[in-house]
Amino acid sequence: MPVHRPGTPRRSRWSAAGILLSVLSALSLLITLPGAAQAAGGDDVPPRGSARMGQGVIEHDGQGSLPPSGDAVQTEGVDVSSHQGNVAWSTLWNSGVKWAYVKATEGTYYKNPYFAQQYNGSYNVGMIRGAYHFATPDTTSGATQANYFVDNGGGWSRDGKTLPGALDIEWNPYGAACFGKSQTAMVTWIRDFLNQYKARTGRHAVIYTATSWWKQCTGNYGGFAVNNPLWIARYDSAPGELPAGWGFYTMWQYTSTGPTVGDHNKFNGALDRVVALANG
């Protein structure tokens, strides 16, 4: 016959209570950790590699009216990523689009699986095209990411049809807007990328950004304006205020809801100026 020892139920109750208290304490600690709220609501954080040019523009800067059409001194362009899949390039060409940028890489962990179709497809219909890199300064150094970009589609050749690579530096879709970096550290990271890209290709990379992000995350640093063309993101009838140092923009992303692919841009000049940028 089994022996029932006095006190056993009490110990069991205390043991269960201790386990429950430990679980509650662990959950409390998790909630207070940086980024824990994001992790808990995983549906709000996109998967790594899915970032696209201008992803945070509407959320942070809003969206106004479209710019007036028919400006003869501007040339229409588009930018695409894996989100667009296989692009109908002939449709875009026939609508007046003459240049394109294609996402090649992100960080050092992602290559666009549609890059060949998009990069070669735009070229085959007659467009001048280039590649862009979505920066993640919280993962690896600027030079490391520049090398990854160049090695995976971000190079340049003087053929009159290849634009210099573009550094897409904007809001972090995976966490803190400035990737956890101080303004000084962010400027250093960007410089590291740009210097390595120049060393590898002989060209100064284009900088794609939004003025509000640039002010917040670099302190409105103006030192890159001498060499690096500006591609400004602003969804409104005019590009508005530019980051410090740049007296003009080279390209302007003005909408994410344009025909065929969404993101549409204006080059600040006629087609011969697009060719000039391609030729260096």
Q: Which of 61, 106, 168, 263 is catalytic?
A: 168
**Angle in degrees, CA 65, 169, 129, rounded to 5:** 75
79 is catalytic: yes
Q: Are 170 and 55 in contact (CB under 8 A)?
A: yes
The residue annotated as part of the active site, out of 79, 106, 241, 263, is 79
What the block records as the tokens of 223 is 């030192």
Residue 192 known to be catalytic: no
| DSSP one-letter code for 63 | -
Q: Which of 254, 248, 255 is nearest to 269 (CA)?
A: 248
Active site residue 263: no
d(CA 160, CA 105): 23
Give me the amino acid identity at 99: W
Q: How would you classify the pairing of strands 206-209 and 230-233?
A: parallel
Which of the following is catalytic: 170, 192, 263, 272? 170
- Which residues belong to the active site? 79, 168, 170
